[in-house]
Amino acid sequence: MKNLFSRPWLRLALIGLGILIALVAMLVGIGLILAQHKADRRMHVAVAAIDVPDDDKSRARGRYLYESRGCADCHAADGGGRVFVDAGDVFLAGPDITGGGRSARYRSQDWVRAVRHGLAPGGRPLRVMPSEDYNRLTDVDLASIVAYVRSLPPRDGAAGELRLPLPARVLYGFGVLDDAADRIDHSLPPEAPVAEAASVAHGRYVAQLCVACHGPGFSGGKIPGAPPDWPASANLTPGEGGVMARYGDAQAFAKMMRGGKRPDGSAITVMPFEALAKMNDTDLEAMRLYLATLPARPAGSR
């Protein structure tokens, strides 16, 4: 048989393919190095200490927030940490945040830095924790959460575990995917407290929890950094495709938020219903009233 390489077109094609593979390998290598740099960067945000209360009422409020705002989904009801994503090449587990874990040494400022700003005590970014959802917590609510977590019996100190697929790591390196510390406006002062009531003002505060997925303008769309098989989040404004018209009263909205189903019985995916189902009537109704005041925005304009 004639040597394949004696055919010039084939030789060229093979050389081209070789160069392409080398280039891709190089890009992946550079991406991984950049990702390491990005994950190791330090961000310095000035944070003030907060007064952590020591009374049952505050701890009860803290427990309510811990369970209904999602902390328990990733750090477990007992604070000892748990696996919250285990899907093929993605494996994510939240760390122990009781006195048994690293946060045993946290001062109140360190809690503020982690929960509100997505930064570990030395200023390294947390990668997966959705601190952008918690940046708007008032001092009183954040302090209540800390009071509650500190009251939990120490667990075994399990560290968190983050295993992300290669493409996600490379894209993080090149800045296509970011982390919460990138997304947060660290210059905003803490939110001023409003009275807990079925009011638009309180609803605006509670709905900050929905921003990471439904966008700051609540118009929904593709969720940044989400796995490719996740559907777009729904438009919560009265704009094109808006879904809130289905939930015209407090009962209909509460039924959906607690049961995870639309009025036609179909299941709603992705939404963290384990936590959302624990929201009280006041928070739910306040949120529904607030969403009804939003100007119409085209779906996905964030």
Nearer to ligand HEC, 184 or 234 (CB): 234
The rounded Cα 58 to chain-centroid distance in angstroms is 25
Asked if residue 58 lies in contact with residue 150, where contact means CB atoms within 8 angstroms, the answer is: no
Tell the smallest beta-carbon distance from residue 137 to ligand HEC (Å). 7
Nearer to ligand HEC, 6 or 106 (CB): 106
Nearer to ligand HEC, 28 or 102 (CB): 102
Tell the smallest beta-carbon distance from residue 9 to ligand HEC (Å). 49
Asked if residue 182 lies in contact with residue 198, where contact means CB atoms within 8 angstroms, the answer is: no
Nearer to ligand HEC, 58 or 233 (CB): 233
Tell the smallest beta-carbon distance from residue 70 to ligand HEC (Å). 4
Q: Is the dihedral of CA 246, 249, 253, 258 positive or negative?
A: negative
Tell the smallest beta-carbon distance from residue 41 to ligand HEC (Å). 13
**Joined tokens for residue 15:** 């050389």
From 91, 92, 59, 89, select the one nearest 74 (Cα to Cα): 92
Binding site for ligand HEC (CB under 6 A): 69-71, 73-75, 84, 92, 94-95, 97, 101-103, 114-115, 120, 126-130, 134, 145, 160, 162, 209-210, 212-214, 230-231, 233-234, 236, 243, 246, 262, 268-272, 276, 287
Nearer to ligand HEC, 32 or 255 (CB): 255
In the numeric block, the tokens 């918690």 are attached to 134
Tell the smallest beta-carbon distance from residue 14 to ligand HEC (Å). 43
Tell the smallest beta-carbon distance from residue 245 to ligand HEC (Å). 9
Nearer to ligand HEC, 34 or 232 (CB): 232
**Joined tokens for residue 69:** 């705002």
- Sequence-separated (6 or more) residues with CB below 8 Å from residue 262: 246, 256, 268
The rounded Cα 253 to chain-centroid distance in angstroms is 23
